[in-house]
Structure 1
């Protein structure tokens, strides 16, 4: 980076439902008994007791969510129709508001109006794994993320692909110990990354499933780098849900909005996977009639036109 430039990060988190389950050692009286864990697959390196405890915890989280009818995998549910005005409202709150604000070297939950942000260059994704991640899981996740990159490209009509070098969107699948030791790698991966972003990743609370940071140069509204961190201890569906939400949020749909339905962009965990509604949000975000940096007042008339075209005004 040249002198005087800095990186501004936008944070998006996927978090557990409040009161869903407790961290190991604090009781799980309200949670159903999880299925017995399958035999642990061979890992490249051994895992700590804390990582093994986290794996048990997140199995219980997923079991609890599914027992409540959440983590649905239907992407065009008949019981969750949405009208044009709802698509407009959801887009504005998800794409033009921030969920977190930087304050005193950390991030706090504080929804505030922002500007439209997205990528203006092709998105080149790369996934890497901590040494503890089993080889079979690596192969599974790599195939999943590659296929999902294609889905994001199709939905947004913006170039999104997997690469083996020259990535500008890094996806890290790591366990507890590996995540806490990420600071040197993050500073190498994203030169100029701020301390608050590093701390948010390395000190991730147990109730936060996964995280993504999208970065831009200074106050520029166009992203030039993103880093997503996904817990390797997650069971398959929870891990897949993290991939779907965080990678889409890293494209510019940064906020969660409680009234968005059917959508992964809220905190109720009803839907685990990107829905048809969410694909329309991506299509809107990358419509050439919109420009990075637009405010709500500037973008709303255009958003209204685009949403009306996509839904037929229904």
Structure 2
């Protein structure tokens, strides 16, 4: 598996993908594009977890985000080396601080009362980590649990987000699973995407560019465009439970503010 994912990463890099530059002159976007992308990635679910991980229904969902501090903790399977543990824990701590500055929401990494769990699991760790996943996601069926522990090889990582029921679906907790066999850049890309999506950016869109919220793998790490999406999501002018139609005028205003213009096109 480690050799396979090393080949995957190498192939993506040879094709000019997994960019870490955050976008540039070749990836322009307007306020209207930013507003459109926000709606696509925030109000629709990419996947559902049932008997298998599958595409979402395409139905609109209500705006959701955390209303309590986000406390991220990372746990490693026995196969993960001490060197990788130290490196990734420091990386996640730094990234949490960056996300907190972007959103204005308290986001931190540590072991104290975590509500956002990241599990770094290798093929050799499955028996050791299954009970832990079951404890963190007790309401999942056995088949859904198996999909999380043993996802298809094409699934590099995933996040499961738990919401409060009712008209205000605030996020209560999240569990992300990252393959331990990934080489450094693929693993870092997983952290960037799954933590950001666990904050409420639940979908990918082929129109989002420059963005990690796009299945094309062009960008490995959070971009300036993605920072704008997250800042908009946590702006107090948007409310948990809003529909896309209710939020649209405010989203357009926020997008114009982020771009520093009055463009409508």
- TM-score, scaled relative to structure 2: 0.93
Answering whether residue 44 of structure 2 is matched by residue 107 of structure 1, we say no
| Bigger Rg over Cα | 1
What is the count of residue pairs matched by the alignment? 260
Equivalent residue, structure 2, for 1:240: 188
SS at match of 1:292: coil
Aligned-residue CA RMSD (Å): 1.6
Deviation of residue 216 (structure 1)? 1.5
Segments of 5+ residues of structure 1 without an aligned counterpart are: 1-53
Matched residues in 1 for 2:240 and 2:163: separation?
A: 11
Among residues 198, 216, 228, which one is paired with 1:280 in the alignment? 228
Equivalent residue, structure 2, for 1:222: 170
Equivalent residue, structure 2, for 1:6: none
Matched residues in 2 for 1:214 and 1:208: separation?
A: 17
Among residues 74, 81, 87, which one is paired with 1:134 in the alignment? 81
Choose between structure 1 and 2: higher helix proportion: 2
SS at match of 2:71: strand
SS at match of 1:98: coil
Structure 1 ranges of 4+ moved more than 6 A: none
Change (3 A) 1:217 1:102: same
Equivalent residue, structure 2, for 1:164: 111
Matched residues in 2 for 1:113 and 1:190: separation?
A: 24
C-alpha contact (below 8 Å) 2:77/2:128 kept by paired residues: no
Change (3 A) 1:196 1:285: farther
Deviation of residue 155 (structure 1)? 1.1
Among residues 144, 149, 165, which one is paired with 1:202 in the alignment? 149
SS at match of 1:97: coil
Choose between structure 1 and 2: higher strand proportion: 1
Among residues 266, 271, 274, which one is paired with 2:219 in the alignment? 271
Matched residues in 1 for 2:209 and 2:241: separation?
A: 26
Equivalent residue, structure 2, for 1:23: none
Matched residues in 1 for 2:63 and 2:143: separation?
A: 22
Equivalent residue, structure 1, for 2:159: 212
Equivalent residue, structure 2, for 1:38: none
Equivalent residue, structure 2, for 1:145: 92
Segments of 5+ residues of structure 2 without an aligned counterpart are: none
Answering whether residue 255 of structure 2 is matched by residue 255 of structure 1, we say no
Deviation of residue 292 (structure 1)? 1.2
- TM-score, scaled relative to structure 1: 0.79
Deviates more, 1:265-274 or 1:158-167: 158-167
Equivalent residue, structure 2, for 1:20: none
